[in-house]
C-alpha cells in the first residue's frame, strides 16, 4: 500500500422560447444550480452538451437495434441490458431500417469534435439514434442512454409494471482525457475471475477505459508464468487472517497456507477479452524491486540477503517500519537484488510472457516504496555501486529501473511506473503514475514524461470515507467531496504530457468483492466526472443529487456502495473550563442531525442538532443519525465520549 501521505451533475437547464430547454454551464450560485437540477436526467459523468426537448421515447415490447457487424460488441451489450430488465424481445438488424427502435451509426465522415470516444445521442418520441466515429463512442453513448431510462434498467431480473421511457434529449459528448482508470489490487487479497468481470461491469457504466490490475506484491503472486512454477505454487498462497491488516501475529509453522489463488494465462485471456468487449484496456502491474516478498519466497536466490530461504509470503504481519517515513525500513528484505544478474533473467522471462499476453501498450513495473536498508549492507550492491559509479541508493534503484525499461521496450511495450522512479533519473520515455500528490506529476511533465495523475490526495479509494470510528481503519481519510475536487490537469502542469487520471483501490483491508464495491462507489463516480466532463461543467451542489439517483441504480444492480457521505463530521474543542464542545457538520446540504446522550437510538422525534453540544457530565456516548425530511439517510453512529475527549486534547 502506498502510505507516504496519510493520506456532473444532472444537466443545468435554462428555459428557452419554444419547445427546448438547453443545458447551461455551471451557474455562479448554489441556488441557481439547484433550481436547474432535474432528477429525471442524472447522467454521470456530466455530458459536454445536453439539450432537453419535450416528450419521451417509450420502449416498445419488440425492440429492434440497427447495427452493423463492426458494432457487434456494442449491440450485444445493449441487447443484454434491455432484455434482462424489461423482458421485452430485443433483436439486432444489420440492414437500414427506418422503423428500428435504436439506431447505431458509425460516421462515414469523421466528426473531429467528438474524437475516438465521443458520441452524439438523439432521443425523440419516435426513435433513438447514437452516432460516433468509433465503436467505443457508441458504447459510451449506450451508457448514457441507459442512464436516461428508469433505474430498474439496471436490474438483472425482469421488472414488471415499469414504464420504460427516456426523456427526449440531444447530447454531444466526449472525454476530457484519454486515460480514465481504476486500479484493482488483486494481490493483497485474491479476487476471482468472475469478480474481476463484475468490477469491469460496474466501472464501464461510468465510462472508465483502463483497469490496472496490481498482480504481484508481498502478499501474493497472481499471474501464471510458464517456466517459473513456484511463483504460483508458493507465491500465491498465505495463511488466512481476519482483523486489522499489518497487525496480525506472525503465522506459525502449522498454520495452513491455503489462502489465495492466481490467474492462469487462459484466465487472463478470458478477462482481457471480456474487458475488450467493453472497451476497457487491462494494464498489468508487476511490482518490483520492492513489494516482492511473494517472489522471493518462491525463489530466494533473487534476494541480496542471506537467509532469504526462510522467507514466506506475507499474511498481514508487520514487515516494515514506517516510523521514519519513506522509504520505509524493512524488517524483512522484500526487494529483488539489483546487483544479481539472475534477477534480470527472471524479469526478462516474466516481461516476455506479460507482453505477449496483454494487448495494452503499457506494462506497469511498480518501483514504489523499495526499502534500501538491506541493500546498504549487501557486498554485491556495494560492488555494483563502485563498478557503475553509483553514489546513493536512489541511483542504485535508478540503475535497476533503466535496465527494466530497456527490457519492456525490447518487447514492444511502453514502461510505466510509480513516481519514485523519477528519483533515480529515469529517461523521459518512461511514463509516470503520480501517486504521492500532484506535484510529482507536475515535475514529471516538465521533464517530458507522459503522466497519469493518481494522487493520494483525491484518488485513493482504500482510504476511509467517514470518521475513523466507523470505517475499516487504514492510513487516511478521503471523503466524496474531496475526491470530486480532483483535476487530472492541474495548474502548473504541461498539459500535453498528461495522459489522464486514475483512482486506486488497494486491498489490504478489503477481503471480498462486496467491500471492494463499497470502497469504490460513490467516490469513483466523482473521479469519473473529473476525467470525462469539461472542468467548467463540474459543480458539487448538482453532482451529489445525481449521486443520490445513482444510489438507487446501484441498489437495482445489487452493487454495494458507501452511504458514508451522509455521516456527520465530528469536531471538538474545549471550553474555558476545559469541558468538551461538540460541533457537528455534514458533507452535503439539506440534512438534519438528531442525537441522544442517553444510550437510546435517536430518530427524528429526538432533539435536532442546532448548536454545539456540551455533553452531560456522566454521558458515555453520543448517538447521531441524519435525516432528509422524514427519511433517515445516514447510519446510526455511536461515538464514545472518551474518544471525543482524546480528540479535544488537554
Active site residues: 217, 291, 369
Return the closest-CA partner of residue 551 out of 637, 633, 459, 467. 633
Give the separation between CA 572 and CA 551, rounded to whole angstroms: 31
Give the separation between CA 375 and CA 359, rounded to whole angstroms: 35
Query: Is the sign of the CA dihedral 427, 430, 432, 433 positive or negative?
Result: negative
- The conformation of residue 71, written as its DSSP 8-state character, comes to G
With b for 16 or more beta-carbon neighbours within 10 A and e for fewer, the 116-142 pattern comes to ebbbbbbbeeeebbbbbbbbbbbbbbb
DSSP 494-548: -GGGEEEEEEEE--TT--SHHHHHHHHTTHHHHHHHHHHS-GGG--HHHHHHHHH
- Please provide the distance, in angstroms rounded to a whole number, between the alpha carbons at the two ends of the chain: 33
Give the separation between CA 4 and CA 244, rounded to whole angstroms: 19
Give the separation between CA 452 and CA 161, rounded to whole angstroms: 46
User: Crossing angle for the helix pair 135-148 and 72-86, nearest 10 degrees?
Assistant: 20
- The conformation of residue 412, written as its DSSP 8-state character, comes to T
Residues 6+ apart with CB under 8 A from 364: 212, 283, 284, 285, 286, 287, 416, 417, 433
Q: Are the CB atoms for 44 and 206 separated by under 8 Å?
A: yes
Q: Residue 621: helix, strand or coil by DSSP? A: strand
Q: If 0-12 CB within 10 Å is exposed, 13-18 middle and 19+ buried, where does residue 266 land?
A: exposed
Give the separation between CA 648 and CA 580, rounded to whole angstroms: 7
Return the closest-CA partner of residue 455 out of 472, 473, 474, 478. 478
Give the separation between CA 241 and CA 254, rounded to whole angstroms: 14
Sole residue written with cell 467517514: 466
Helices in 411-472 by DSSP H: which ranges? 439-446, 456-459
Sole residue written with cell 475499516: 472
At 453, phi and psi to the nearest 5? Answer: -80, 125
Q: Are the CB atoms for 564 and 631 separated by under 8 Å?
A: no
Sheet holding 49-58, edge to edge: 12-15, 20-24, 49-58, 165-173, 119-123, 128-132, 102-106, 62-66, 89-93
- Tell me if the bond preceding 584 is cis, omega within 30° of 0: no
* 505 DSSP β-pair partners: 184
Amino acid at each position: 500500500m502506498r502510505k507516504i501521505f496519510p493520506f456532473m451533475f444532472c444537466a443545468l437547464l435554462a428555459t428557452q422560447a419554444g419547445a427546448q430547454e438547453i443545458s447551461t454551464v455551471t451557474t455562479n450560485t448554489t441556488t441557481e444550480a439547484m433550481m436547474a437540477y432535474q432528477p429525471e436526467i442524472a447522467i454521470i459523468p456530466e455530458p459536454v452538451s445536453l439539450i432537453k426537448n419535450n416528450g419521451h421515447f417509450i420502449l416498445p415490447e419488440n425492440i429492434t437495434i440497427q447495427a452493423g457487424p463492426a458494432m457487434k460488441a456494442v449491440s450485444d451489450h445493449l441487447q443484454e441490458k434491455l432484455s434482462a430488465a424489461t423482458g421485452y424481445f430485443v433483436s439486432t438488424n444489420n440492414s437500414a431500417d427506418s422503423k428500428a427502435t435504436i439506431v447505431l451509426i458509425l460516421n462515414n465522415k469523421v466528426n473531429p469534435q467528438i474524437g475516438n470516444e465521443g458520441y452524439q445521442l438523439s432521443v425523440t418520441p419516435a426513435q433513438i439514434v447514437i452516432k460516433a466515429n468509433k465503436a467505443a463512442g457508441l458504447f459510451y453513448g449506450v451508457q448514457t442512454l441507459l442512464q436516461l431510462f428508469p433505474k430498474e434498467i439496471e436490474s438483472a431480473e425482469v421488472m414488471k409494471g415499469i414504464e420504460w421511457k427516456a426523456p427526449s434529449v440531444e447530447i454531444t459528448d466526449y472525454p476530457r482525457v484519454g486515460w480514465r482508470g481504476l486500479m484493482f489490487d488483486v494481490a493483497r487479497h485474491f479476487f476471482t475471475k468472475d469478480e474481476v468481470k463484475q468490477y469491469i461491469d460496474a466501472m464501464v457504466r461510468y465510462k472508465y477505459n483502463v483497469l490496472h490490475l496490481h498482480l504481484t506484491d508481498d502478499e501474493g503472486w497472481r499471474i501464471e508464468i510458464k517456466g517459473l512454477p513456484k511463483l504460483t505454487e508458493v507465491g500465491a498462497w498465505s495463511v488466512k487472517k481476519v482483523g486489522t491488516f499489518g497487525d496480525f501475529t506472525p503465522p506459525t509453522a502449522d498454520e495452513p497456507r491455503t489462502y489465495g489463488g492466481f490467474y492462469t494465462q487462459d484466465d487472463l485471456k478470458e478477462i482481457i477479452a471480456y474487458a475488450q468487449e467493453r472497451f476497457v484496456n487491462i494494464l498489468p502491474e508487476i511490482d518490483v524491486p520492492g513489494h516482492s516478498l511473494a517472489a522471493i519466497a518462491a525463489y530466494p536466490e533473487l534476494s541480496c540477503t542471506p537467509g532469504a530461504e526462510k522467507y514466506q509470503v506475507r499474511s498481514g504481519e508487520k514487515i516494515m517500519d514506517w516510523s521514519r517515513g519513506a522509504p520505509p525500513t524493512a524488517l524483512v528484505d522484500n526487494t529483488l537484488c539489483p546487483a544479481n544478474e539472475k534477477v534480470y533473467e527472471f524479469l526478462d522471462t516474466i516481461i516476455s510472457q506479460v507482453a505477449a499476453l496483454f494487448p495494452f501498450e503499457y506494462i506497469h513495473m511498480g518501483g514504489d516504496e523499495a526499502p534500501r536498508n538491506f541493500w546498504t549492507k549487501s557486498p554485491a550492491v556495494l560492488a555494483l555501486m563502485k563498478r557503475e559509479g553509483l553514489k546513493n541508493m536512489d541511483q542504485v534503484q535508478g540503475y535497476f529501473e533503466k535496465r527494466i525499461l530497456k527490457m519492456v521496450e525490447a518487447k514492444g511495450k511502453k514502461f510505466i511506473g510509480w513516481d519514485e522512479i523519477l528519483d533515480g533519473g529515469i529517461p523521459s520515455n518512461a511514463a509516470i503514475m503520480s501517486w504521492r500528490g500532484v506535484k510529482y506529476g507536475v515535475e514529471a511533465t516538465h521533464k517530458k514524461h507522459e503522466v497519469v495523475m493518481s494522487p493520494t490526495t483525491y484518488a485513493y479509494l482504500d482510504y476511509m470515507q467517514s470518521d475513523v470510528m466507523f470505517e475499516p481503519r487504514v492510513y487516511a481519510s478521503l471523503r466524496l467531496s474531496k475526491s470530486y475536487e480532483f483535476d487530472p490537469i492541474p495548474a502548473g502542469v504541461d498539459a500535453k504530457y498528461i495522459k489522464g487520471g486514475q483512482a486506486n483501490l488497494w486491498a489490504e483491508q478489503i477481503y471480498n468483492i462486496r467491500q471492494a464495491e463499497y470502497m469504490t462507489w460513490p467516490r469513483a463516480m466523482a473521479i469519473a466526472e473529473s476525467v470525462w466532463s469539461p472542468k467548467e461543467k463540474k459543480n458539487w451542489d448538482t453532482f451529489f443529487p445525481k449521486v443520490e439517483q445513482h444510489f438507487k441504480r446501484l441498489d437495482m444492480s445489487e452493487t454495494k456502495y458507501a452511504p458514508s457521505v451522509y455521516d456527520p463530521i465530528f469536531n471538538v474543542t474545549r471550553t474555558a473550563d476545559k469541558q468538551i464542545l461538540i460541533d457537528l457538520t455534514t458533507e452535503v446540504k439539506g440534512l438534519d442531525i438528531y442525537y441522544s446522550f442517553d444510550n437510546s437510538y435517536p430518530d427524528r422525534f429526538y432533539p435536532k442538532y442546532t448548536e454545539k453540544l456540551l455533553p452531560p457530565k456522566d454521558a458515555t456516548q453520543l448517538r447521531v443519525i441524519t435525516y432528509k425530511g422524514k427519511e433517515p439517510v445516514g447510519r446510526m453512529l455511536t461515538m464514545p465520549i472518551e474518544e471525543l475527549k482524546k480528540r479535544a486534547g488537554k
